[in-house]
Structure 1
Amino acid sequence: VIVDRLTKSAHFLPMREDDSMDKLTKRYLKEVLTRHGIPISIISDRDPMFASNFWRAFQKALGTRLDMSTAYHPYHASIKAAPFEVLYGRKCRSPVCWAEVEDAQLIGPEIIQETTEKIVEIKKRLQAAHDRQKSYADVRRKPLEFQFDDKVMLKVSPWKGVVRFGKRGKLNPRYIGPFKLLAKVGTIAYRLELPQQLSRAHSTFHVCNLKKFTIVYH
């Protein structure tokens, strides 16, 4: 799934987990670049494909900046407008509201001014939505920090499809570990020392997926 951060328009490209990087690149060129041009930046998860040397070199050659999100901690915002209207600068005419959509007669300078004003307004709405969500999260968030010598448990749910732990469904453990902390990344993430069986996954995790390891004596 590829989503434009400004307009929220999306492309859904059918891909298999074992598809090659060559196939991903061809789909990307055909479905995204030929329609929308070269993006300034791309935010993605830390899938091995997106973190590969080829993908990094390919985007660097295009002049696109790659930003990797913190593992398993996405967020969404609202633009308060239909993606079609934001992307094309007009409402979508459909059988349901055919008469409500008029053909706008705009010349070049007017189109540029109107588009610029819409972009400014959308950015304001995105920032407002982001600030609002952050304020909600700050109220619920409990300050959680670990010391360098601490060991932590890792929440299992993000690992679905990456590795199995012998049991499935309700019998699957909620946390695995303990794992040694290697470093703090920014203010909300930590890098862990993972065993070989988890080598396919990125080792940096948001603090919400960790809890301190404690020994219970009976």
Structure 2
Amino acid sequence: MDWVTGLPPGGDRSYNSCLVIAERSSKTPIFLPCHKDDKAMDPSLLIWNRVVSWTGIFTNIISDRDHKFTSALWTNLHQLFGTKLSFSTAYHPQTDGLAERMIQILEDMVRRVCFKLRRYGKKSLFYGLQFKDCDGFTHYWSTILPVLELAFKTSIHASTNQTPAILEKGCNPKLPRASLRKELAEIHPTAASFKGMLIKARKHAVRCMEDSFAYARDKWYKSHATPDFKVGDLVLVSTTNFNNIKGCKKLKEYFSGPFVTKALHGENAVEVEVSEELSNKHPTFPVSLIKPYKSSDVEKFPLRNKVPQVIPPIESSGIKNITKVLKERKLRTNKVKEYLVRYSDPACEDEWLAEKDIPEATKLLR
């Protein structure tokens, strides 16, 4: 389970967030509107009143480390129920990736159904996630969540090749579109408007889900095709996990290199010959963080005969090595001697230190 935040206020209670719950085996979704500033008690009551009544107590809950999920109330409550709490780890989408992917599909469905943009002159003003039917009735994003949930349950999932409803109950529920095909001689205007809204919302939701599934499948196969690395090949290393890069983190290079492949460790790890600037990094990287280097065509670009190597500036580990003592002075206040030292790192400026703060002072002060 995970949260969708940053939504505009919707509904009578001005919901601005949504709790997304996904059942791992059948891919059954549950969309619950809520508020961003809810306390730990609020999602607990929401799940107890809306979910546990027809699913029972959860066996295992996989979530991120949100303060609501790590609070003492949430932890003790599920200890009493016997529910195991599993928390996801950074850079490991295989833990709660199902909820994250379901959030993307939900946002795409809501956006296609409810997104409205009003224009005033040359400026554009975001009107909010609202759906207006042909008669002018306004339906907020929070009111169409049950319809989107039903559309998700009755759509075939690419992983299981079945609908979540079939895997959960053994059959697909009777859909409103089967009843909406009936034409009545006399129908109330509000009922006719509601009928039109259901038909239009479901068409939008199903079309959105089909596009999202197709895009996600193609994107996965394209980006996760394991390249055939060989010893001696030039590769680029991703700087995603390089947290100690100097300068502006927003403008850092996405990949560093190229480096020469030194050895292959199975099918999932590659050892490269790192440069002196990256000597504090482990030379072995997973194949998910490495991509082949494509050199320029020498005939088209003759001036690029030399391969430029992009190495991000790495911050030092915090240990400064003193190489030389330059000067000596004595303070008048406490009559303590200080020495002007020089470090091995050129980026570090000379600094005045007391004798007690200099490692191996007896050796350097001879």
Structure number with higher relative contact order (C-alpha < 8 Å, ≥ 6 residues apart): 1
Q: Which has the higher strand share?
A: 2
TM-score if structure 1 supplies the norm length? 0.47
TM-score if structure 2 supplies the norm length? 0.30
Answer with 1 or 2: which has the greater Rg: 2
